[in-house]
Structure 1
């Protein structure tokens, strides 16, 4: 039966309603779906059955038409969906359009335009600095407290949760090697992140202000920015990440709308440097989100990074992305950068968790410094909601496979 009466505390109740794209069992046809408990509602078919004007936004094989419709439409559609799954008079009409989650195939929920990834956790940045620049007077680079640092990635290798990740090959050279060699990465890593999905585009030449963040960003999802540390270390000077990052980035099949996360908004950490006006959020609404992330390898929890500790907010990242007049496109995706907290148990990468391989993790199936073929990495998360509820985020999982 469809989940109109969910168990108390279900993190995917009517207070959540994340969006995805799915194919019903036995069909290749893709359509927008809304998750409710352990079921998926065919949103386009339900809209048509109810005579809703939102058929034009929901009866599609991708979320992009809804993303492009803008904030007012997002709020209106969400109110309608909430009514459809909570008002008893709608239940008989929409019941035929529910599918068990276990029976459907989930797809990448939107067509990705551009992809940018940031470096917004002070804890992560300091750990990386201590690992690679142990003799430097400050573990942070001089610009870190003045702007959100990021790089442009490869949108064509954004993949949905559950997609296998082929171990990448590339050049690598350790300090002791006389010359570089080419072959599969031997230091394959994860980065536990949060991705933000842009809906409303902007005009080229016109920066997006902090206050306009919610007019452009539709929602968020978990993101794993897989990283080949050995390839990255040899190639990144002087232009930054390239092949060590571009082979795969995994995202959740479910996009949680920002409107579902109102009760999880928190103030970011205290600023230690004065910010230039376009990044100064001291008079803005709280820009952080209290997301509780769990990282598991082969079902064993290895870390629980808290997103509330991120120094730079998603609004500041958006402002930085467009500060030079670069335009936004519907379907742009940007990642927060690795989420790491202040304790060892809260680090969001194996680079930090093993301190660059010095301190292996003890897992039930053996020690790990970096990922081995066959390892399955899963990111999951929840956020506090109203009245003690939890808002679940769709998980991200991926299994490492050897290149043939």
Structure 2
């Protein structure tokens, strides 16, 4: 007998998951070798894009009833979207997994703790940049008051799951916000900078360096004050309507008519930002504005290349030669199709020899907050990634997303390679290379 929850879940799949998109899948299997969870589970079809699409359709058609194994199959998906470039039929898997998570969240009962956490996260911290800043100030107090040192010394963190201890160990030091520098160079391009929530709090030094490098290249940078979190975390967690609330706020905050580009420096944010156009295409008040916003959105490495940074990098000289490599941000590569630009910048960076990381385009296991929600699978995927790092032995592993950066730092820490290898954001890497070699 079908329970009330199972019936409600079936109805939610019918309501939320697009049948036409499900029918696009030809079950050819080209997606299988591109899927990290399929490979990490020794080719378990349930944890492949093809298998998940089959489950989505079965749930929608009523051929499968909801249970823990079905939920696990969807929860285990990283949402990295590596299956999309591999798919000859152009299946919109990203849309399908987002719709599936909306269907689940609408139908699944939540206990009090989950309600509190979701409310605090999606209606609080990730809905209001001021609340995010206040939260990060607590992290700053924890780091600078001596509490962090004391906590580590007495072994208090050992009471928590190992992955939480590891993530605490790679938290960046929160610095006091510095005044953004002015530049006397003539401005030929005007851009609006999407500062992001984590990037403008935990990683505000990277944001500062981003603006300095843009000004060094002759760009006028404006930073809209009312911008909010991009909404990606909401969208990937079944809270799409709340993600679109943030999208509308950001579209209102950015006057895209008066800038040449809108630039971001976080791959995960950039993918969702460029898809505002898709998500709001049926909104009569925002469709046109969302399209204009998305069309002007550009990743920082792409803008650096457009502005001629490669030429500037080649003009600098260095006697040193260290190995540098690059770990792709999944969404930057698979959604925004940006992968050549960051590599070209690293190839031209003074003092370094670029070498390609084995399977650089495969996910590192971060995937937003996936490494917190699915620590065991994230660990398996990171271990596969670190095999390539060990073989290459670079001095720097560069990436373009804060989550990827912290995940790679965890991997380096687990291997005991902190003295030999550093994980760095591409902006920090370029900034330091230029500062070191500029006359």
- Which bracket does the TM-score occupy, shorter chain normalised? under 0.3
> Structure 1 length normalisation: TM-score?
0.27
Query: Given the two structures, how large is their TM-score scaled by the length of structure 2?
Result: 0.25
Task: Name the structure with the higher helix share.
Answer: 2
Between structures 1 and 2, the one with greater strand share: 1
